[in-house]
Structures are given as structure tokens and as C-alpha cells.
Amino acid sequence: MARFEVLFYLLIPTFILIHLFASPYTKVEESFNIQAIHDILIHGIPDRNADQFFTANYDHMEFPGSVPRTFAGALILSGLSRPFVGLFSSPASLQLLVRAVLGLLNAASLVWFGTRVRKAFGQGAAIWYALLQASQFHVIYYASRTLPNIFALVLSTIALGSLLDAYATPWSSTTVPQSYRLCLYLLTFCGVVFRSELAILVGTLTLYLFATQRIPITTVIIPAGLGGLVIGLLCTVSLDSFFWQSVPLWPEWTGFYFNTIQGHSADWGVSPWHYYFLNALPRLLMNPMSYLVCIPLAILNPATRRSSLHLLVPLLGYVGLYSFLPHKEWRFIIYVVPGLTAIAAAGASWVWTRRGKSVLYAVLSLALLASVFLSFMASTTLLAISSLNYPGGAALQFLHTRVQHPYGHHFQVYFDNLACQTGVTRFLENHYGPQTILDVLEAQALADQKTWTYSKTEDPNVLLDPLFWAKFDYVLAERPEKIIGKWGVIHTVYGFDGLRVLKPGEPSDSSTTDESVTGDDQTLKELSVKIARSWKALETAFRERLLKGWWVEVKMEPKIRILANYDKWNYESKGQ
């Protein structure tokens, strides 16, 4: 492999890590796995009194969710991260560590897939694959996020790479490439353990390969399917029955039954049948040249048609069949993105190698380069906007930085629903003193030794009790008027509220940076003022000189208020 080709591959892990550090907090969809990873790393796994240990320490016992989810991804990621834990000084940095490990696992699978693209379509296609993949927003941004789909993406990408490898390997009726078995085995295992929708992809791939007489049933399909099913069931049932203390338990079957058979997935919203094709896939692929020009050219070109169709037909078949489920989210079909990107790369390479043969190819080649550049720019813009969607994490980080916490002083903090949904995790909590509570009887005694304790109960009866609120020093709340007692707002965290197109002469309304910092932290105030002035100067330069007065403004609105107990906070401030 040429050195310059490796440089293109390195774009993938580089941009994954950039997206991670630019947007370090998590959303509610990631909460189960990130909390589970925290509990495994910090509290460990019990070898006795498991039920009491989990009840006292683990988040999933108090907040189980609508259906149980597998601990498989959390356990694997915890194990891979543990050798590096000693290099970090705070739980908050451990959250970045575990997400970085997951991001690099996905990067490794995507890069390995790129080497299979090279084998199937040539070096030029591999380079274009790296450029197209690195410039996509959703795969790169979510590659480090602890969603079940992203755990499954690691193995599904390897599976599709194995499929490409098999297509590029000559074989006869007596020597079937092992890559076919590996592909079906990995996808079946993923469907059993992580995401049940992958069973549809297994089905479309199997039917397509059998129909084209590429693989036999008895020596490939049945052994691969049974192997993935049995190994997957042994892993998930034994593991999750232990962590959930419920025997036997198969989380993906429970989720499938709840969402699909009982129809509860529609409770989260219903989209039209064409949503994946007309909305989700164009957003996932990012670059319009990919699906409007490159993929069609790869199909029309005789040199790439066969391998392209072997990927395209089963992948689009999966998307088409899955479109019949009323509730749709782009992450349910993210597994097809590397495959479609590979086909687009084959088309792009074909155009690029002919750029000197005619004016048409030259124009298309320039359009390809421009589209990749614009995709990188659009992805960067989306990253900047997406990083503004985590006010809960930003509020908790500010609270820990703003409030002095000498050992022996005990602060109690309450998180409301929005704070928990937009970044608050156990990794971001500060605990001084014992980390592990051995059983329920010792819980209160050890909790008293901690500098901070936290609550996020949603019990409506508890939230109406004034005595409940009286014990807290601070509250992170979306709506302060719902908090009972005398409270003062010491800080407001703003969040993204959409975009607004400004016409020439229309004034900008982006003044929230200064207003969002209150209290007596002069250093933070000065920094925020400098940032606001720098952004204002940049806006003026671009808007007036280049865009003739037009501008797109990011609208921000107050999301989370940090409230201090009026009597406690006022008294303690006077005593400092």
C-alpha cells in the first residue's frame, strides 16, 4: 500500500477524534451504554450479592427504560478502555477515553473496509472512498457515540468488507471463499446481540447470493446462520441475565417484541415509506455527487457493474423492506453507508482516471473535487451546530468549575429531565471518597463522605413535596418556575434554536454569549467577551465584504438554568 494512500485513510480516525473533542457530551439515546460503562469501570462487577450490588451502584436498576438493553457493548468497551484508565485523572476524562476507543474501533473497521475497496475496485477507488467517507457528517460524528447501532456498525462494516473480499476472490463450486461465511456470521451475531433489524440485512444478502448461485445453502448459509445465532444467544442471554438479574433474558428479542410486534415503535413517531430514500440516505451520504452521479456511473460502467450490483441490490433491498416499519430513524440504516460509499468511490475513480480524455470528464472531475471540499465544509458547520445541543453537560461542567468544593462540605444537586437528556452522565459527576458501595445497608454511610451527591428522580409525587427541594443546594432546571422554594439563577446555559437568514441591512441578534455568563467569575466573563467580539468581527468581514449583507445566523435560546438555594447559597457566599 502506497504511503500517500495511507494518508487518505488517516483522515477517517483524525476527523472522528476531532468530532469527539469538539462535541464531548452525550445525548439521551447514548445514556444506557455510557452509564453502564461508567458503572463497570468505576464500581466493577460483583462476584457475590449481585442483586444488592447492582441495586446500590448501577444506573440501570433505578432507570431501566422501556425495555432492557444488552450490556455486551458496554462490557467490551470497558475492557478495552481499562488498561488506559490510570493515565487519566478524572471520571470526565474517562468519558472521552471510552468514546475515543469506540471511535477508533469504527475508524479501524472503516479503514479496513477501504482496503477491501482497493482490492475490489482499485487504488483510485480506495482513495475516493476515504475522501467521501471522511467528509460525511453522520458516520464520523456518531462513530464515537455509545449507541447500539454504532457498536453494531463496527462488525457490520467488517462483514461488508468480507463480502467485497469474497467478490474479488476467484472460486469454484468446490472452493467457496470463507469470507462469505464470515460476512453472514458477523451480521447474524450483530442482529442477535445488538440490533435486531440486521436480521433483514442478513435476509436480503442471503437471498441475493443464493439467487445468483454464489453460495450454497448447506455449506455456507446454514452453518454461518446457526453459528452466529448460537454464539450470539450464548453471549447475550448469559451476560444480560446476570446484569439485569432476570433469567433468561434476551434484550434484543424483548425490544423487537415491544417495538415491532406490539407496535410501540410508532409511539416515537411515524414517517412515510419513502423517508429513508428521499431524506435519510441523502443526508447520510452527504455529497450529492455520490448518489446523483457516482453510483449511477458505477452501475453503467461494465468494469465496476458486477461488484457494484452485488453490494447495491441487497443493501437497497434492506432499506426498502425496513421502510415498511412506521417509525424511522437514520441510524437504523447507517450500516449501508460504507457499502454505498464504496460504490460511489468506484464511480468517482472511473471519472477521475478519464479527466484528460474529454471536456465532460474534466468538468465532472472538478465537480467531484469541489463537492468533497464543500462536504467537508458542511460537515464542519454541522459539527459546530451540533456541539450546541448539549446544555445539560455544559451546565454541570460549569457548576463543578464555578463552585468551590473543599473536602467535608456536602453539596446536593438535582438534574431535571432536559439536563439528563442533553449531556449529564455519571462520568461528569464529582465524587470524593469511596466509589464503590458494597451493599444497600452501607449506602447512606458512604454517601455522607462524598462532596457531591446527585438526584434525577422523575416521581411526580416527590417533585411536589417542598421538603424534597429544601435539601438541595443547586438545581439544573429547564423551567425554574416548577422548582418549589426560594431559588436564584446563578448561570444560564444557552442551546441551539435553529437558523435564521438575515437580509442586507437586517441587524444580527447573536448577543447571547455575554448574557449567558452571570455571577462573579471575571475570567470567564472576559473570555466570553473576547470570543463574542472575535465572532462579531468575523461576521462583519464575511457578511459585508463577501456576501453583500446576507448572513445565516445561529439562533440560541436559554435551555438550562443553574439555580442556587437562596438561603444556603446566599449565606455561604457571605461566609467565604
pLDDT digits (tens, 9 = 90+) for 65-120: 889 999 999 999 999 999 998 888 788 899 999 999 999 999 999 999 999 999 99
Ranking 258-262, 385-389, 543-547 by mean pLDDT, the lowest is 543-547
Cβ atoms 516, 494 nearer than 8 A? yes
Q: Return the pLDDT at 452.
A: 83
| pLDDT recorded at residue 293 | 95
Q: For the segment 379-398, what is each residue's pLDDT rounded down to a tens digit?
A: 998 998 999 999 999 999 99
CB 273 within 8 A of CB 321: no
Highest mean pLDDT among 65-69, 236-240, 430-434, 566-570: 236-240
Transcribe 382-394 into DSSP letters.
HHHHHTTS-HHHH
In terms of pLDDT, which residue wins out, 288 or 569? Answer: 288
Q: Is the pLDDT score of 296 beyond 70?
A: yes
Computed over every residue of the chain, the mean pLDDT equals: 86
Residue 441 is predicted with a pLDDT of: 39
**Mean pLDDT, range 298-302, rounded to an integer:** 93
Q: Are 140 and 134 in contact (CB under 8 A)?
A: yes
Pair 418, 392: CB distance under 8 Å = yes
Rounded CA separation 466/411 (Å)? 18
Q: Please report which confidence band the pLDDT of residue 449 belongs to, taking 50, 70 and 90 as the band edges.
A: low
Q: In this predicted structure, what is the pLDDT of residue 439?
A: 39
pLDDT exceeds 70 at position 272 = yes
Contact 412, 472 (CB under 8 A): yes
> Lowest mean pLDDT: which of 15-19, 53-57, 444-448?
444-448
Statement: residue 330 has pLDDT above 80: yes
| pLDDT one-digit tens code per residue, 6-19 | 999 999 999 999 99
Query: What average pLDDT does the segment 326-336 reach?
Result: 94
In this predicted model, which residue has the larger pLDDT, 536 or 218? 218
Q: Does residue 175 have a pLDDT over 80?
A: no
Q: Once rounded to an integer, what is the mean pLDDT over residues 199-203?
A: 95
- CA torsion, points 45, 47, 52, 57, in degrees to nearest 10? -20
Of residues 21, 105, 131, the one with CA closest to residue 383: 21
- 37: cell is 460503562
**pLDDT tens-digit readout, 452-486:** 889 998 889 999 999 999 999 999 999 999 999 89
pLDDT-derived band at 533, boundaries 50, 70, 90: low
* C-alpha–C-alpha distance, residues 532 and 540, integer Å: 12
Residue 409, pLDDT above cutoff 90: no
Q: Give the residue, 270 or 404, on which the prediction is more confident.
A: 270
Which sequence spans correspond to the domains of the chain?
3-387, 388-575
* 25: nearest Cα among 417, 387, 379, 430: 387
Task: Please say if the pLDDT value at position 442 is more than 50.
Answer: no
Most confident region among 171-185, 461-475, 528-542 by mean pLDDT? 461-475
Q: How many alpha carbons fall within 13 Å on the CB side of residue 19?
A: 32
Cα-based distances in Å from 100 to 75, 95, 335, 573:
15, 8, 20, 39
Query: Is pLDDT larger for residue 435 or for residue 504?
Result: 504
Amino acid 71: pLDDT: 96
For the entire predicted model, the pTM comes to 0.90
Give mean pLDDT, residues 421-445: 65
pLDDT winner (highest mean) among 126-140, 216-230, 403-417:
126-140
Least confident of 140-149, 280-289, 384-393, 440-449: 440-449
Task: Name the one residue in this structure whose C-alpha cell is 464511480.
Answer: 347
pLDDT over threshold 60, residue 433:
no
Give the whole-angstrom CA distance, residue 63 versus residue 332. 24
pLDDT at 434: 45
Angle between helices 11-22 and 91-121 (to 10 degrees): 150
334-367 pLDDT, tens digit per residue, is 999 999 999 999 999 999 999 988 999 999 999 9
Q: Which helix (H) or strand (E) is 22 found in, with range?
A: helix 11-22
Whether 572 has a pLDDT exceeding 70, the answer reads no
Looking at per-residue pLDDT, the higher value among 556 and 576 belongs to 556
Q: Comparing C-alpha atoms, which of 337, 385, 329 is closest to residue 139?
A: 337
pLDDT at 450: 60
